[in-house]
């Protein structure tokens, strides 16, 4: 619901150029979603918590129990969905149909800060996106924020990760990052998922 309102007001899905879509979604829920009143106070709070943190850099360290579980579930579901939505725009024949925020007049090359993050297997500051190469690489950095091996398995099965890799430029450090990424995915998928108590 936050994305619909975001686009209707700002004509973009880019939070940095408009408003945080999770926070906006919470406003819409408070204003226009009467079924929230049918939930118990605890369940309504749980729904709001999961929405609030589904797109933030991280879930608060003090999150526990159902709050942590539902925040992790929604974050993973959001990533699966965004991979599905963005995948077609990697193909050149669909590039001109991509939303404006995904287009870049700059190079396909990846900025050094993003290469460093990829090589180190960590998240990068999305506010530093400069190039089309950065935008593509960010999709792979999301892997390090996936909470459940099941989610990663689905990403691999659906070809989302390989498709992004296939569209990265040949650039120093990229292959090192790719090798680290696949090793991480293999390890995460081999381990049983732990459900927060």
Query: The tokens of 18 are what?
Result: 């408009």
The residue with tokens 């369940």 is 43
| pLDDT score recorded for residue 93 | 66
Interval 118-156: pLDDT, tens: 999 988 887 788 888 898 899 999 999 999 999 999 999
How many whole angstroms separate alpha carbon 111 and alpha carbon 104? 13
pTM, to two decimals: 0.85
For 71, counting Cβ atoms within 10 Å of its Cβ (0-12 exposed, 13-18 middle, 19+ buried), the class is buried
Alpha helices in the chain (DSSP H): 2-10, 21-32, 41-53, 65-86, 112-120, 132-141, 149-157, 160-166, 174-190
In this model, does residue 97 exceed pLDDT 70?
Answer: no
| pLDDT score recorded for residue 15 | 84
Read off the pLDDT of each residue in 105-109 and give the average, rounded to a whole number.
Answer: 71
In this model, does residue 96 exceed pLDDT 70?
Answer: no
| pLDDT score recorded for residue 124 | 85
Interval 151-197: pLDDT, tens: 999 999 999 999 999 999 999 999 999 999 999 999 999 999 988 77
| pLDDT score recorded for residue 104 | 53
Q: What percent of the chain has pLDDT over 90?
A: 66
Interval 51-89: pLDDT, tens: 999 999 899 999 999 999 999 999 999 999 989 988 887
Interval 3-59: pLDDT, tens: 999 999 999 888 888 999 999 999 999 988 788 889 999 999 999 999 999 999 899
| pLDDT score recorded for residue 10 | 92
How many whole angstroms separate alpha carbon 54 and alpha carbon 136? 20
Quickly count: other Cβ atoms within 10 Å of residue 63's Cβ.
17
Rounded-to-10 torsion of CA 67, 73, 78, 79: 120
How many whole angstroms separate alpha carbon 35 and alpha carbon 13? 26
Domain ranges of the chain: 39-190
């Amino acid at each position: 619901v936050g994305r619909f309102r975001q686009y209707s007001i700002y004509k973009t899905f880019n939070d940095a150029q408009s408003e945080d879509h999770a926070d906006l979604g919470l406003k819409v829920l408070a204003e226009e979603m009467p079924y929230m009143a049918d939930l118990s106070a605890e369940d309504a709070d749980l729904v709001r918590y999961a929405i609030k943190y589904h797109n933030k850099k991280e879930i608060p360290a003090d999150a526990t129990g159902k709050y942590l579980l539902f925040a992790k579930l929604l974050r993973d579901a959001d990533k699966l969905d965004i991979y599905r939505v963005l995948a077609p725009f990697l193909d050149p024949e669909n590039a001109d149909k991509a939303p404006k925020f995904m287009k870049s007049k700059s190079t396909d090359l990846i900025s050094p800060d993003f290469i460093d993050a990829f090589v180190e297997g960590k998240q990068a500051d999305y506010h530093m996106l400069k190039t089309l190469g950065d935008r593509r690489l960010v999709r792979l950095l999301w892997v390090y924020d996936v909470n459940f091996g099941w989610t990663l398995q689905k990403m691999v099965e659906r070809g989302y990760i390989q498709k992004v890799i296939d569209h990265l430029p040949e650039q120093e450090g990229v292959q090192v990052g790719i090798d680290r990424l696949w090793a991480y995915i293999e390890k995460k998928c081999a381990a049983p998922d732990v459900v927060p108590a």
